[in-house]
Amino acid sequence: MEFTLSIPPLSKVDLNLLVVLDVLLREKSVGRAADELNLTSSAVSHALKRLRSLFDNELLVRDGRRMVPTARGQSLSETLPILLAQVQSTLAEPQPFDPSTAMQTFRLAAPDFISPLLPRVLKSIAEQAPSVSVQVFTFAPTASFDMQTGRYDALIAPSFRQTDDLRGIKLGAWPWVTFGRKDHSAFVDWSPESWARFPHVLVSASAPSGRGPIDQAASRLGVTRKIGAIVPHFSMAAPILAETDMLLVVPSVAMHDLAAVYGLAQRSLPFEIPSLSFSLFHSATNGDEPASRWFRSHIEDAARALVGAD
């Protein structure tokens, strides 16, 4: 004779009923179960009736003045506590991130010219998390893809559209400005012509291809600048500006700290061009973890402070 165990479909299972059943099987008393659950005895009796219908089994039967579990009830008394504990664990809030005891490395990809942001980020992180470190990677055209594959915890990039797996918030916008020596003669009579009269330093990690937004905007006024030097990092540009007649056009944040060190002056571009906006991106699949959110909050705070000071 074949025996088939009756298993209720999940769509018909009320987790609250299973909680009542767990207490009933443990207490073996409607009254005591009602006290523990802070329910009336009538409500517990009604729940037991529904449970018997759900499992097609008596589950608990009277034996004099007490209740004893059936074989099915006994089996459930052993498995239900484990099941409910797993459900509780699944629904529980994630463990909070404790920066004071954390020992991990966060990975950030960012353009070279946001370097003034880094000391502020690292200082605030060190104050809260002495054992946390930050590894910074150079921004590359593949950065958004690398972000999706889990290589980075955060990405700073010129604002671009979000994808299905990238989420971002705007960090700020910095105007394009021209830097040069404080006594540079171009600044005496500042105009598109004086801007184009002197050679410029261009910062580029690779060989530039085509004209960028700066040169396109200048050409509409009929002026063309000459590139006198190409260097891979902004830290190399500052001493060049201090010792030559060269000029440098960058978002203002890029030389935020170096300008004072090397005695450089800045002027707004002598023609109109939109400010450069930047956003902070994270992966939609793992960026909601408390540690990741904590790390990004320090970048956001530092960026706001830097925008305010610029």
- Are the CB atoms for 69 and 25 separated by under 8 Å? yes
Average pLDDT for the chain: 87
pLDDT tens digits along 86-110: 888 777 766 778 999 999 999 999 9
Task: Identify the band that residue 6 occupies on the pLDDT scale cut at 50, 70 and 90.
Answer: low
Chain segment 140-167, per-residue pLDDT in tens = 777 777 877 778 999 998 876 666 678 8
CATH of domain 10-91: 1.10.10.10
Question: Tokens standing for 181?
Answer: 């020596």
The 10s digit of each residue's pLDDT in 31-83 is 999 999 999 999 999 999 999 988 889 999 988 778 899 999 999 999 998 88
pLDDT value of residue 309: 57
Question: Which tops the pLDDT comparison, 172 or 191?
Answer: 191
Strand, coil or helix: 197: helix
Buried b (16+ CB within 10 A) or exposed e, 31-68: eebbeebebeeeebeebbeebbebbebebbeeeeeebe
Query: What's the CATH superfamily of 105-172+276-309?
Result: Periplasmic binding protein-like II (3.40.190.10)
Token pair for residue 226?
Answer: 């000459």
Q: What 3-state class would DSSP assign to 48?
A: helix
Superfamily of domain 176-268: Periplasmic binding protein-like II (3.40.190.10)
Predicted pLDDT of residue 10: 59
Does residue 178 sit in helix, strand or coil? strand
CB contact set of 104 (below 8 Å; sequence gap of 6+): 132, 133, 291
Which residue is it, tokens 């989420």?
167
- Fold agreement (10-91, 105-172+276-309): no
> Which two three-digit tokens encode residue 228?
């006198």
Whole-number pLDDT of residue 204: 82
pLDDT at 3: 45
Question: Could you report the per-residue pLDDT of 238-296, keeping only the tens digit for each?
Answer: 999 999 999 999 988 888 888 999 999 999 999 999 998 889 998 887 777 889 999 99
With CA atoms as reference, report the closest residue to 199 among 224, 225, 234, 217.
Answer: 225
- Domain map (residue ranges) of the chain: 10-91, 105-172+276-309, 176-268
Q: How much is the pLDDT for 87? A: 82
What is residue 2's predicted lDDT score, i.e. its pLDDT? 45
